[in-house]
Structure 1
Amino acid sequence: MDNLFKKTLWIIGNVIFILILIFSLTIGFFFIKSKINGEAPNIGGNKMYVVLTGSMVPVFEPGSIVIAREIKADQIVPNDIVAFKDPRDTSKLITHRVVQVNQNNGSLSFVTKGDANDSEDPFVVPADNLTGKVNYWVPYAGYILQFSKSSTGIKLFLIIIPGSLFILGQLLKIIKILKEEKRRKQEVKNKGIMS
């Protein structure tokens, strides 16, 4: 029973090691790709953005990651949280709640507001400025995302973490082999004493 438990733990450890390694390499790939392209990391049509201000507190805090999925503008309804390019400066991205949907001559626009703000945004968001509807957010994970875009972060996610996990896995295998060898020597010694 003891060997079965140890073997199960060893298998679980290896599976966890492989999953962490795959996760690290995948995330690292998408972060490097996003840095090269100058765009937000995009995994399976979901873009990740880091929240920089407190305009949506208490829904999400600064430093959170919001995950926005591309969606057709005509599917947006009031109360949806959307990510969009600021109409005054399209290099700036904002994530606010839609409070009103306007339709004029077949074109859509949106009135938005940050939950923590006292008033609506001082502009109307054209449908073309939408980058996605926010479906999920992860508190404070944005700090990790920002760090991962730095040269130190890239080294950490692509080299140090996977390398450390690989070395740890190899050390665990060596320890297992040494313990097995010690057990075998003890069995041989015990057999010698008995005869």
Structure 2
Amino acid sequence: MRVRPRHIGSVAVAAFLALALAGALAPAFGWRLDVVRSGSMSPAMNVGDLAVTSPERPEDLALGDVACFRTSDGSHVCHRIMAIDGPNSTIVTKGDANEEADPYAVAFGDVEGKVAFTVPYLGHVVSFLQGPLGWAFIILLGAMLVFGEAKEAIVKGGAQGPREGGE
């Protein structure tokens, strides 16, 4: 069976639209899509993976969960929970690839959720699409789809000129 290029394009467009829809709808339900940008959680999460974070109350987190939180400098980190201090409402975290625990306790109020799952390599695609070349690619892809459909309609006779008699 021969795969036609048009079908490959349709599958690629469908996959792209599914990714865009997931990215657009995730925040509406409290979910986050984060690109893994460091190797501190390797091998569980590698640079370029996409971490999908579910909303989670800090009180419901458990030892071993990978919590995502904001640090004092505003950066976003996902590390494994090593200890929970309920009375002080803090957690102690550590990157799997790091030798020691993080040098700060994370306040419950800074916890944004926990990693539900990761998608290997998809973060590279997301990073590309968020950059200037990615936007150019999206615009070019859209133009190619519009012009491709118009060309196909003309070639197949779908685009007809005005009828005689004014109708």
**Structure-1-length-normalised TM-score:** 0.65
Q: 1:97-119 CA distances to partner (integer Å, 9 max, x unpaired)?
A: 11111111xx5211111111111
Kindly report structure 1 stretches of 4+ aligned residues shifted beyond 6 Å. Answer: 12-15
Determine if contact 1:51/1:62 at 8 Å carries over to the other structure. Answer: yes
Q: 1:52: Cα distance to partner?
A: 1.2
Structure 2 residue aligned with 1:150: 131
Q: 1:32-61 CA distances to partner (integer Å, 9 max, x unpaired)?
A: xxxxxxxxx736422111111111010111
SS at 2:135's partner residue? helix
Task: Tell me the amino acid that sits aligned with residue 132 of structure 1.
Answer: G
2:110 corresponds to which of 117, 120, 129: 129
Structure 2 residue aligned with 1:99: 82
Aligned pairs, how many? 155
SS at 1:145's partner residue? helix
1:115 aligns with 2:96: yes
Q: 1:26: Cα distance to partner?
A: 3.6
Q: 1:15: Cα distance to partner?
A: 7.0
- Higher gyration radius (CA): 1
Determine if contact 1:21/1:165 at 8 Å carries over to the other structure. Answer: no
- Structural RMSD (CA): 3.3
**Structure-2-length-normalised TM-score:** 0.74
Q: Percent identity?
A: 23
* Structure with the largest fraction of helix: 1
Residue correspondence of structure 1 range 1-195 to structure 2 within 5 A: 16=11, 19-20=14-15, 22-23=17-18, 26=21, 30=24, 42=27, 44-86=29-71, 88-89=72-73, 91-104=74-87, 107-157=88-138, 159-170=139-150, 177=156
**Structure 2 segments unaligned to the other structure (5+ residues):** 158-167
Determine if contact 1:14/1:169 at 8 Å carries over to the other structure. Answer: no
Determine if contact 1:17/1:169 at 8 Å carries over to the other structure. Answer: no
Task: Tell me the amino acid that sits aligned with residue 78 of structure 1.
Answer: L
Q: 1:171: Cα distance to partner?
A: 5.1
Task: Tell me the amino acid that sits aligned with residue 14 of structure 2.
Answer: L
